[in-house]
Structure 1
Amino acid sequence: MSDVAPEGSKRSPFTRPGFILSASLVLVLMAAVIVIAFLPNGNNNQGIGEAGPTGKATVSASATPTGDGLGDSICGLPGSMDTALGAAPQSDWELIGKTAVPTAPKTAGPGVVNSDGVRSCFANSPVGALYAAANIFGLVTAGNQQVVLEELAGDSAARDQQLVDLKNSTPEPVSAQIGGFKIQNYTGSSATVDLGIELDSGAVGSVPVPLIWENGDWKLNVTQGGVTGSQQLIDLSAYIPWSGV
């Protein structure tokens, strides 16, 4: 059977077999995009805010990992004793592929962007965790899963297995934007940032990003376990509006 979409229709990238295979092998962030694209809206779930200032091993948030604790980041960004974030930070935005991500290199991060576009060094603070989650999400949607696993994920056997699995897949970029956020939990050593996202199709959903503070930076916490609860939503009214587009 032909894999070509009928003339006049635009096939969703989420339905391409190669994409579905690669997503099943790598980060829950990408798997979450597929979930949001396909699942019907939940009955009990909770709209989205031009870049510029604006007000099978999987990722698991069930366990509380042991991190390095509070302190300045590896590039010297100051930490904070805050444990919550009740309003959207004033943010500047840049594009990774088609996804807008926040940047504050002297305060929240990323304090380092290398020649390959890897964005690292975020502040040990709720804002720093938010910025780290958003930038990791941007890199994943741009098809840079290997970079994320190699350089922006915490050390674990599950992370190493993901890298092995990734050699047999061909990740594809997808178009998704951040529209809001919630800090589900935060300590100086771990955090879970729930990103409200919107796909080109208009579908919106929840993508929780679990993080661990390791070696002076926020890292994606890849462990053996279940998905963090990503799901399609009716709207993003339960999220703090925050968007770069």
Structure 2
Amino acid sequence: MDTNNNNATRTRPRWFGPALIALVLLLVAVAGWTIRNLTTPDEVQAPTAPAASTAPTQGAAEAAAPSSGEDFAWDCQAQLSTDTSSVADEAPEVQDWVAAGYNVVPSSPEFGGCERRDSGLRVGFAHSEAGALMAAATYAMALDPSVSEEAAEDVEVAMAEGPNRDQIEEKAQRIRDGLEQGDDGTTTASSTLLGYSQLNYTDEVASYQLVYSFPSGNGLEEKALAQADLVWEDGDWKLDPASGTKMMTADLYQGQPYVEWGPKV
């Protein structure tokens, strides 16, 4: 650098050399002052706001996000609760029981169903025991593809794939076309959910017995059990049909213990 400066003085004004030296000294002084002012605050602030302290917080927040690791069927499911508490012995708290299908079904901002179909059926449930129970109680009252074309479209999103579903769709089509007599839904409409018992639960399958009361022919109340089997398929709980003609199995209640849960509990 010194050689270049000496050569430059031959063609530049005489004051260029002293001015350059003065400028260099000034820049050095300014740089030193700037460095001191830039480094001193960082050294003071470093203990109070280290970069490493923020990274775990962000990571923990991302890990706690409801949609983390899940591929849901409906966007609204990402906002549902990720609570994995068991409902085998204690029922989930549900504030709202809304009209759907033949009766009323549970609705919860925590457990679902968060997506309302054109037929009135609610889908989109939490991937948990509570979510599976909500789905079971909903499908028992509101899933019937024989009542309308809108209800027929619910089969794809609320019923597990397989030959049983195919046969149920065919039967529902015949009923809608007037070629076969269907259930008028009177008993279902007059029934009341009293509670349930959890038969099985894993992340992939669940099974519940739902206990209902309904008026009998002699004016007395009787109780019945409806078994709902579910599978977690395509990001939501879907009903696994009992057969090609029945979505659920039903039997008379015979004193089995159950957890109280329903619109009147």
Q: 1:224 to 1:99 in 2, by over 3 A?
A: closer
Q: Distance in 2 between matches of 1:219 and 1:88?
A: 20
Q: 1:88 to 1:98 in 2, by over 3 A?
A: same
1:86-101 matches, cutoff 5 A: 86-91=89-94, 92-101=96-105
Equivalent residue, structure 2, for 1:243: 262
Shift of residue 239 of structure 1? 1.2
CA deviation string 1:177-233 (max 9, x = no partner) = 211011110000000011001113222111110000011100001265898763102
Shift of residue 162 of structure 1? 1.3
The size of the alignment, in residue pairs, is 174
CA deviation string 1:147-194 (max 9, x = no partner) = 553431011122012111222224422322211011110000000011
Q: 1:114 to 1:137 in 2, by over 3 A?
A: same
Structure 2: stretches of 5+ with no match in the other structure: 1-68, 176-181
Among 151, 156, 163, the alignment partner of 2:157 is 151
Comparing 71-80 with 112-121, which one deviates more in the overlay? 71-80
Structure 1: stretches of 5+ with no match in the other structure: 1-69
Would you say the 8 A contact 1:100–1:178 is kept in 2? no
1:27-38 matches, cutoff 5 A: none
Q: 1:153 to 1:192 in 2, by over 3 A?
A: same
Q: Distance in 1 between matches of 2:262 and 2:144?
A: 16
Q: 1:136 to 1:224 in 2, by over 3 A?
A: closer
Would you say the 8 A contact 1:179–1:241 is kept in 2? yes
Amino acid paired to 2:250: S
Would you say the 8 A contact 2:200–2:208 is kept in 1? yes
Question: Which 4+ residue blocks in structure 1 deviate beyond 6 angstroms?
Answer: 225-228
Residue 173 (structure 1) aligned with residue 185 (structure 2): yes
RMSD over equivalenced CA pairs, Å: 2.8
Q: 1:147 to 1:197 in 2, by over 3 A?
A: farther
Equivalent residue, structure 2, for 1:61: none
Shift of residue 140 of structure 1? 4.0
Report the TM-score, using the length of structure 1 for normalisation: 0.62
Amino acid paired to 2:99: L
Q: 1:148 to 1:123 in 2, by over 3 A?
A: same
Would you say the 8 A contact 2:167–2:244 is kept in 1? no
1:58-207 matches, cutoff 5 A: 71=70, 73-74=72-73, 75-76=77-78, 77-91=80-94, 92-104=96-108, 106-140=109-143, 144=147, 146-169=152-175, 170-174=182-186, 175=189, 176-201=191-216, 202-207=221-226
Amino acid paired to 2:252: Q
Q: 1:216 to 1:80 in 2, by over 3 A?
A: farther
Report the TM-score, using the length of structure 2 for normalisation: 0.57
Q: 1:116 to 1:84 in 2, by over 3 A?
A: closer
Identity %: 25
| SS class of match (2:193) | strand
Amino acid paired to 1:100: V
CA deviation string 1:10-35 (max 9, x = no partner) = xxxxxxxxxxxxxxxxxxxxxxxxxx
Q: 1:134 to 1:229 in 2, by over 3 A?
A: closer
